[in-house]
């Protein structure tokens, strides 16, 4: 089966499995050391291009521009070098096969950038349709690779076809799979080259914890600022990102703090409406149905459903909230103390956003949780900001290998 090779200016060309295999094998044989200056310059050029764009730029693309600026890349390199053990050399793994998710299309750029900076050859299986802003970035990348006469980076699309995926896997030194447990199950049986490494990003859930007393003490401007940041975490990808919160845990007592939480939820909905977040009628009904089902089963004491952007259910019982409806749906649970959150955490939890607590309190809460799950604690508003350490993986380290020299 042929695949489509993405080229500059939006062009695509057929590439046969035979030619693709030969190119994969050739690409992994001559690679630079991590943070090769030419590769760093190419990545930094992404930020340069985004800064010069005219008109509206999607928030996710703006953040990509911030993330790829030269100062950020220098910091990333320093941090990487500091973590390399003494008497070792860092080397690329070879060919890395990337399978990005459908729900957050910018994620393949971060995954590719980190592996590219690590010195690897890369092949990315792209979706058939790519958003306009993302395609503009990809065009810039491909044009820069062409100008550098670098054929080691391939962006391809092919229909779901296990034979082609198996061939690419068998000729790859690492595989990065985003998109959930079902997708992982499809690829985990496909062998990699000897010594190959699989990096999985499966189904995850995320949550938020607020100090109810601190929220209640906010003035109008403070509450509006918190709502704006919270709305970014929820609505930028309609809660489809693994790091978007689906549950809100409030440390406090409902009789004292529920009014402030309701005011916050109203402002979050208004913020989403002001930014043009639309909710399909069918999903509005799905959110209402989920809310009323929770009330009927005794899992909620109140359902806030009249605003189309955000539907919330309120529970005064400190219990695990596991309803992932998406598209603007929050389960609100009251807790007596922050330590009580620890008993409610599960293996699949990834990101906990927080507001109103001292840094030392959050540190102690993170230290108390020694079991699997929870890879990240970050302030409200930063849930969707990608980091080179993600879901427990240090992606730069995972896509390099160490050579001991003694």
Can you give the CATH number for the domain in which 191 is found? Answer: 3.40.605.10
Do 89 and 220 lie in one domain? The reply is no
Q: Give the DSSP H or E segment for 137.
A: helix 132-147
Domain shared by 177 and 224, yes or no: no
Which of 203, 229, 264 is a domain's end point?
203
CA dist 39 and 33 (Å) reads 10
Torsion sign (Cα): 134, 135, 138, 139: negative
Give domain status of residue 10, yes or no.
Answer: yes
In a domain, 405, yes or no: no
Domain count, the chain: 2
Q: How far is CA 49 from CA 62, 66, 138, 141, 285, in A?
A: 11, 11, 11, 10, 42
Same domain, 209 and 199: no
**388 within a domain of the structure (yes/no):** no
Distance, in Å, from the CA atom of 194 to the CA atom of 190, rounded to the nearest integer, reads 12
Q: Are residues 190 and 320 in the same domain?
A: no
Same domain, 145 and 275: no
Q: What is the pLDDT of residues 356-388, one digit of tens each?
A: 999 999 999 999 988 778 999 999 999 999 999
In 3D space, the residue among 204, 207, 328, 222 whose CA is nearest the CA of residue 265 turns out to be 328
Question: At 302, is the secondary structure helix, strand, or coil?
Answer: strand
Domain match, 256 and 192 both: no
Same domain, 215 and 254: yes
Segment 100-112 mean pLDDT: 87
The predicted pLDDT at position 277 comes to 80
Residue 74, domain member (yes or no): yes
What is the β-pairing status of strands 3-6 and 12-15? antiparallel
Domain identity same for 149 and 222: no
For residue 325, count other CB atoms closer than 10 A to its CB. Answer: 19
Pairwise CA distance, residues 113 & 96, whole Å: 12
Residues whose CB is less than 8 angstroms from the CB of residue 127 and which lie 6 or more positions away in sequence, other chains included: 100, 102, 105, 157
What is the C-alpha to C-alpha distance for residues 34 and 96, in angstroms, rounded to an integer? 14
Residue 162 pLDDT more than 80? no
State which of 203, 220, 246 marks the end of a domain: 203
**What CATH code is carried by the domain that includes residue 310?**
3.40.309.10
For 3, half-sphere exposure in the C-beta direction (CA atoms, 13 angstrom radius) is 28
Residue 390 domain flag: no
**90 falls within a domain:** yes
Q: Which of 142, 176, 203 is the last residue of a domain?
A: 203
* Contact by Cβ (8 Å): 119, 31: yes
Query: Is 403 a domain residue?
Result: no
Q: What is the mean pLDDT of residues 236-242?
A: 90
CA distance 220 to 214: 13
Q: Residue 146: pLDDT above 90?
A: yes
Tell me: do 249 and 365 sit in the same domain.
Answer: yes
Query: Do 231 and 192 share a structural domain?
Result: no
Position 1 scores a pLDDT of 66
| Residue 250 located in a structural domain | yes
How does 122-154 read in b/e, with b if 16+ C-beta sit within 10 Å? bbbbbeeebeebbbbbbbbbbebbeeeebebbb
Please give the average per-residue pLDDT across 60-89, as a whole number: 94
148 and 165 in a single domain? The answer is yes
The proportion of the chain whose per-residue pLDDT surpasses 70, expressed as a percent, equals: 100
Domain that holds residue 217: 205-379
Q: Are residues 13 and 143 in the same domain?
A: yes
Return the minimum-mean-pLDDT range out of 35-44, 81-90, 278-287, 387-396: 278-287
The answer to which of 53-62, 204-213, 378-387 has the lowest mean pLDDT is 53-62
Burial 205-218 (b: 16+ CB within 10 A, else e): bbbbbbbbebbbeb
């Amino acid at each position: 089966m042929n695949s489509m090779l993405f080229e500059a200016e939006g062009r695509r060309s057929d590439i046969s499995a035979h030619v693709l295999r030969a190119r994969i094998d050739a690409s992994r044989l001559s690679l630079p050391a991590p943070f090769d200056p030419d590769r760093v310059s190419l990545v930094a050029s992404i930020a340069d291009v985004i800064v010069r764009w005219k008109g509206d730029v999607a928030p996710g693309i703006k953040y990509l521009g911030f993330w790829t600026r030269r100062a950020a890349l220098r910091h990333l390199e320093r941090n990487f070098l500091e973590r390399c053990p003494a008497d070792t050399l860092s080397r690329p793994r070879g060919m890395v096969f990337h399978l990005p998710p459908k729900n957050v299309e910018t994620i393949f750029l971060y995954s590719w950038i980190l592996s590219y900076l690590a010195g690897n050859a890369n092949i990315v299986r792209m979706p058939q349709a790519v958003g306009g802003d993302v395609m503009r970035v990809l065009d810039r990348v491909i044009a820069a690779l062409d100008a550098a006469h670098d054929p080691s980076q391939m962006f391809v699309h092919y229909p779901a076809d296990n034979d082609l995926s198996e061939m690419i896997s068998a000729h790859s030194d690492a595989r990065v799979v985003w998109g959930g447990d079902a997708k992982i199950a499809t690829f985990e049986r496909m062998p990699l080259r000897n010594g190959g490494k699989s990096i999985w990003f499966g189904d995850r859930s995320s949550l938020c914890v607020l100090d109810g007393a601190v929220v209640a003490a906010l003035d109008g401007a403070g509450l509006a600022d918190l709502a704006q940041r919270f709305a970014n975490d929820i609505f930028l990808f309609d809660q489809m990102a693994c790091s978007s919160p689906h549950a809100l845990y409030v440390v406090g007592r409902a009789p004292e703090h529920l009014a402030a939480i309701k005011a916050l939820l109203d402002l979050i909905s208004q913020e989403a409406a002001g930014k043009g977040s639309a909710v399909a009628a069918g999903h509005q009904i799905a959110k209402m149905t989920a809310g009323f089902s929770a009330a009927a089963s005794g899992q909620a004491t109140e359902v806030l459903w009249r605003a189309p952007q955000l539907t919330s259910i309120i529970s005064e019982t400190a219990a695990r909230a596991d309803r992932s409806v998406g598209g603007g749906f929050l389960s609100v649970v009251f807790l007596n103390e922050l330590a009580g959150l620890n008993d409610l955490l599960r293996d699949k939890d990834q990101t906990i956003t927080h507001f109103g607590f001292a840094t030392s309190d959050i540190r102690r809460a993170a230290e108390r949780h020694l079991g699997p799950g929870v890879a990240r604690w970050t302030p409200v508003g930063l849930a969707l900001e990608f980091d080179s350490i993600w879901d427990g993986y240090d992606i730069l380290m995972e896509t390099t290998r160490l050579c001991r020299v003694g």
